[in-house]
Amino acid sequence: MQARKLVQLGKSTLVVSLPKPWVDLHGLQPGKTVQVSMRGDGSLVIYPKEMRETERELTITFEESKPRELFVREVVSGYLNGASRFRIVSPKVFTSEQQQTVRDIAGKLYLRIMKAESQEFLIESLLDMSKLSLQAGMRRMHTIVSSMCADMLKALQEEDVELAKTVASLDEDVDRFSLLLLRMLRNAAFDPVIAGKVGINLLDCLDYQNFVQQMERAADLAVNISNLLVHLEEKLHPSVLEKLVNMGQAAYIHFEEAVEAFDEKDLGKANRVLDAVTEMEDLNMQVLGEMAKKEKRPFAVCSTCLVRASLMDIYTAGTEIAKTVINHTFGYPLPEGAGEESGA
């Protein structure tokens, strides 16, 4: 890294010279225009020409012998790494199952089918990533996840199978948001143009990625519990169910507080979530104790343990978000008074 002095030009203008090797490399001459962008961390980036997002095309061979899961993983990987156009080809005519797989993954990733032939699909993203709001997407994702957790607890308390099915049906919506947001973050981490337009830096990318992953984790746990309720053959013992609901409500409250802490960069709320571990362990032991006294049916015991573990994991997802808040906050200058509440 080179150090260069600022030179005053006129009364208020400051100028700095550009490194000659860089100027020669890009063939710049007096009168030429360069692009200047301020990044989220306050640094400036100078581009020798107008920088535009590059569109990447990825060709994937989808043979009939290739497992569906492998093909889906290849498309998702390309999507997360910035590919905006996918050419899906096959040496033979696509089977109906293959065609449906292509249509399913296209819908999941907000891709539109531009061409569909017997041996080739062309699917393309029509979204302008630079115009999407990362914060708005994260808020929308949280709204869905929060409602899923709340409805899951209601379905658990009331043993409402239909409500549990509704919760499970929202899993795809969360997956779509998760993949879209992770794509934005990965692109921003590798491309300063996108990062500048979104208004984040590399450290933000890491923190937001963890937030999105923990949100998806909480949604998956809510779906797991809901699916178990749908297939539950025996009702849980009322007193055991009551303990489970109490534990679930506490886990949900702390998870929501962690999200608030992330939005507000509130150290006090983040620390309260982490300090609630003793409370959650006590509620966990209450469930186990009540189950040991009242529940003797093997299937019901197994179901109770699965629900209990998933509820505890929802709280754990909240603690991971809370840790991110603390690590992020101390990576930047603290706002005035930010550390006072956390030390109380």
pLDDT digits (tens, 9 = 90+) for 64-83: 999 999 999 999 999 998 88
HEC string for 239-280: HHHHHHHHHHHHHHHHHHHHHHHHHHCCHHHHHHHHHCHHHH
Strands across the sheet with 111-116, in order? 56-61, 83-89, 120-125, 111-116
- Domain annotation covers residue 85: yes
User: Number of C-alpha atoms within 13 angstroms, CB side, residue 161?
Assistant: 6
Asked if residue 239 and residue 184 are part of one domain, the reply reads yes
pLDDT band at 191 (very low <50, low <70, confident <90, very high): confident
pLDDT the model gives residue 124: 93
Crossing angle of helices 202-230 and 161-169, in 10° steps, is: 150
- Domain annotation covers residue 39: yes
- The mean per-residue pLDDT over the stretch 163-186 comes to 93
Asked if residue 307 and residue 177 are part of one domain, the reply reads yes
pLDDT digits (tens, 9 = 90+) for 97-112: 999 999 999 998 989 9
Asked if residue 290 and residue 179 are part of one domain, the reply reads yes
Asked if residue 334 and residue 231 are part of one domain, the reply reads yes
- Percentage of the chain modeled with pLDDT above 90: 64
pLDDT digits (tens, 9 = 90+) for 279-311: 999 999 999 999 999 988 999 999 999 999 999
Please identify which residue in the block is written with the tokens 């186990």.
Answer: 288
Asked if residue 307 and residue 220 are part of one domain, the reply reads yes
Q: Which domain holds residue 99?
A: 56-129
pLDDT band at 12 (very low <50, low <70, confident <90, very high): confident
pLDDT the model gives residue 54: 59
pLDDT the model gives residue 201: 75
Asked if residue 116 and residue 96 are part of one domain, the reply reads yes
Asked if residue 171 and residue 122 are part of one domain, the reply reads no
Asked if residue 145 and residue 74 are part of one domain, the reply reads no
Tell me the pTM. 0.79
- The mean per-residue pLDDT over the stretch 307-318 comes to 98
pLDDT the model gives residue 336: 47
pLDDT the model gives residue 337: 47
Q: Phi first, then psi: what are they for 62, rounded to 5°?
A: -120, 85
Q: Phi first, then psi: what are they for 30, rounded to 5°?
A: -55, 135
More confident residue, 34 or 311: 311
- Domain annotation covers residue 234: yes
- Domain annotation covers residue 268: yes
Residue 15 scores a pLDDT above 50: yes
- Which residues does 55 contact at the CB level (< 8 Å), separation at least 6? 84, 85
Asked if residue 190 and residue 326 are part of one domain, the reply reads yes
Count H helices and E strands in the chain, helices first.
13, 8
Asked if residue 286 and residue 140 are part of one domain, the reply reads yes
Range of 78-92, 113-127, 308-322 with top mean pLDDT = 308-322
- Domain annotation covers residue 1: no
- The mean per-residue pLDDT over the stretch 141-169 comes to 96
pLDDT the model gives residue 36: 81
Structural contact between residues 134 and 178, judged by C-beta atoms closer than 8 angstroms:
no
